Each structure stands twice: as structure tokens, then as C-alpha cells.
């Protein structure tokens, strides 16, 4: 059963249930069926696919997904929307709508035999935390097709030298292959959002792009490389890790990295090497 609603149908449904779209939950509902189909096409739905949908709302994507995939688990934080969608899909066996904050999902309790696919028109206000949560549990899924704010997507796909290159770009480049598939105009949502969005496809890598010897240390250090982006990497590192500039200089020299570069000018390999060296020094010097 296709649960997509046109603008008229959506407004009627909201009125009937006395609901006003909640800005604080990022409720912008997709009202263009062609764009809906376009988004679904990027997910390359196969009959045996199991999907987790994030924020199904009133079901713009859900029903069509249920018709074409093996099973859909959809997590919606808004109690009213979850119950309306549940009622609309009642009697259909291969879907479970749960009223739940996606960020509180206990992944380890999910018992999927095979890797799943993720889909969702993400609520803008927590798009970034959701993406990091997905990265944390990437062993469970093989593809994510998510609609996210364009500025977040630009930071994710930014390369060395691009002013947007930062922590999120480095992490996604190391752990995933991702691409912007499609730009979505604001007018295909009700209410219209103030920011532009894009559809992004993310595929986790089986192995990190660059070998990381001490992942735990590297992941904890990496964000601190990208603070104070206008400062030289020498200053950033010595301040961030409260280390003597001479020590930092010797680390950078040993890695043949120019100390006056800004963090966005570092190559991915350099970012990892710096993080590993800092981790070693921290261990030796017992620095926080």
C-alpha cells in the first residue's frame, strides 16, 4: 500500500488529527511523488532487502518501500505520526513502525541475518548526530540513502584544500564511499524548509582507506586537529594537546609535513599519521 500523500491529502490528514508540523522535530513532509521515486531509486531496492527507515513521518517513503522490499523497520520519534502511520499500514506483515528516537536505537539487540539498508529523509536538526551514529554501527548496514542538509553534505564530500574539508570529511573518507546523488528543491516539502537538501548515498568500506594502527586513539584525536581552522597546524597541535612546539615541530618534520599548513590543507594520510604520532606522544608523556 503506497502511503504517499499529496499536499491536499497531507493537509487534510494533519487537520483531521489536529496536528501542526513540529519545527523542533524537523517535520518537513515530502509532497512530490516524482522526487519520492527518485530518492527510492538510489536505494536500488531488491526483494530480499531489509530496510531501516529513519523518521518515516506520515509515510512518504514507507509504503512504497514496504511493497518492494522484504521488511521495513521504521523509527519515528513523534508519537502521533507513528500511530497514524501504524494505522495506515495495519494488516501489512512486512513492516514495523516503532515510536522511537532513532538515536536511542539499541543496535546490538537487532537480529538481522544479513546487512540491512538505511533510508530516510532525515530531520535536519539532528542529521549530523544521526550520520555519526550510523558510522558507529556501520557493521550492520551495507548502504544508506539519506536526505540531508546540503551544507552538511558539502562538508562530508570535501577534499583536501577545500575550505570545507574537516573532521567529518576525513572520517567519512576513511570509513565510507559517499556521493551526493541529487539536489532537492525546497518546494517539494510541506512546510518548505529554509535550507537546501540533497540525497546522499553512503557505502561503508570493508577496510579503512588508509591502514590505521590504533583506531581508538586516532578517532579520539582526529576532531582536535580541525579546531581553530585558521591557525597553522603547528599552533593547533601545540595548543590542542598542550605540547611544546619543539616536540610538534619534530613530529611534523619526521612526517615531512609543512608546519604552516592549515588543517584543511592536509592530505588524508597526513591527518592519520599526525593523529597516530600524537597518540604515541600522549602515551609517552601521559597527556590528556
Residue ranges binding ligand SAM (CB under 6 A): 25-30, 54-57, 60-61, 75-78, 81, 101-103, 121, 123, 126
Min dist. Cβ of residue 183 to ligand SAM (A): 16
Exposure of 112 in the CB half-sphere (CA atoms within 13 A): 23
Min dist. Cβ of residue 278 to ligand SAM (A): 34
Our CB check for ligand SAM shows the closer of 25 and 217 to be: 25
Our CB check for ligand SAM shows the closer of 61 and 212 to be: 61
Our CB check for ligand SAM shows the closer of 60 and 66 to be: 60
Min dist. Cβ of residue 55 to ligand SAM (A): 2
CA distance 189 to 183: 13
Min dist. Cβ of residue 45 to ligand SAM (A): 16
In DSSP terms, 198 is beta-bridged to 148, 183
In DSSP terms, 201 is beta-bridged to 145, 179
Our CB check for ligand SAM shows the closer of 27 and 169 to be: 27
79 CB contacts (<8 Å, ≥6 apart)? Answer: 99
Which residue, judged by CB position, is nearest to ligand SAM in the bound state?
A: 55
- Quick one: how far is CA 9 from the chain centroid? 30
Our CB check for ligand SAM shows the closer of 63 and 123 to be: 123
Min dist. Cβ of residue 205 to ligand SAM (A): 26
Our CB check for ligand SAM shows the closer of 78 and 276 to be: 78
Min dist. Cβ of residue 166 to ligand SAM (A): 24
Amino acid at each position: 500500500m503506497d502511503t504517499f500523500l499529496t499536499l491536499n491529502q497531507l493537509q487534510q490528514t494533519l487537520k483531521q488529527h489536529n496536528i501542526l508540523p513540529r519545527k523542533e522535530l524537523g517535520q518537513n513532509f515530502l509532497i512530490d511523488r516524482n522526487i519520492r521515486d527518485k530518492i527510492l531509486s538510489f536505494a536500488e531496492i531488491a526483494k530480499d532487502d531489509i530496510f531501516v527507515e529513519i523518521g518515516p513521518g506520515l509515510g512518504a517513503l514507507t509504503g512504497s518501500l514496504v511493497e518492494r522490499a522484504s521488511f521495513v523497520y521504521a523509527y519515528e520519534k513523534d508519537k502521533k505520526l507513528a500511530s497514524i502511520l501504524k494505522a495506515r499500514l495495519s494488516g501489512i506483515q512486512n513492516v514495523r513502525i516503532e515510536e522511537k528516537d532513532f538515536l536511542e536505537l539499541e543496535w546490538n539487540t537487532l537480529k538481522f541475518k544479513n546487512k540491512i539498508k538505511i533510508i530516510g529523509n532525515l530531520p535536519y536538526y539532528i542529521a549530523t548526530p544521526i550520520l555519526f551514529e550510523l558510522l558507529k554501527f556501520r557493521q550492520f548496514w551495507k548502504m544508506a540513502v539519506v536526505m540531508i542538509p546540503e551544507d552538511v553534505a558539502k562538508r562530508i564530500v570535501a577534499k583536501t584544500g577545500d575550505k570545507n574539508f574537516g573532521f567529518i570529511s576525513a572520517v567519512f573518507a576513511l570509513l565510507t564511499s559517499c556521493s551526493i546523488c541529487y539536489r532537492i528543491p525546497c518546494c517539494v516539502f510541506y512546510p518548505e524548509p529554509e535550507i537546501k537538501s540533497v540525497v546522499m548515498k553512503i557505502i561503508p568500506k570493508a577496510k579503512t582507506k588508509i591502514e590505521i594502527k590504533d583506531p581508538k586513539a586516532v578517532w579520539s584525536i582526529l576532531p582536535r586537529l580541525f579546531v581553530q581552522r585558521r591557525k597553522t597546524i603547528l599552533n593547533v597541535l601545540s595548543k590542542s594537546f598542550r605540547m611544546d612546539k619543539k616536540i610538534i615541530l619534530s613530529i611534523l618534520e619526521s612526517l615531512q609535513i609543512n608546519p604552516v599548513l592549515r588543517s584543511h590543507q592536509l592530505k588524508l594520510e597526513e591527518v592519520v599519521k599526525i593523529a597516530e604520532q600524537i597518540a604515541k606522544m600522549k602515551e609517552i608523556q601521559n597527556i590528556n
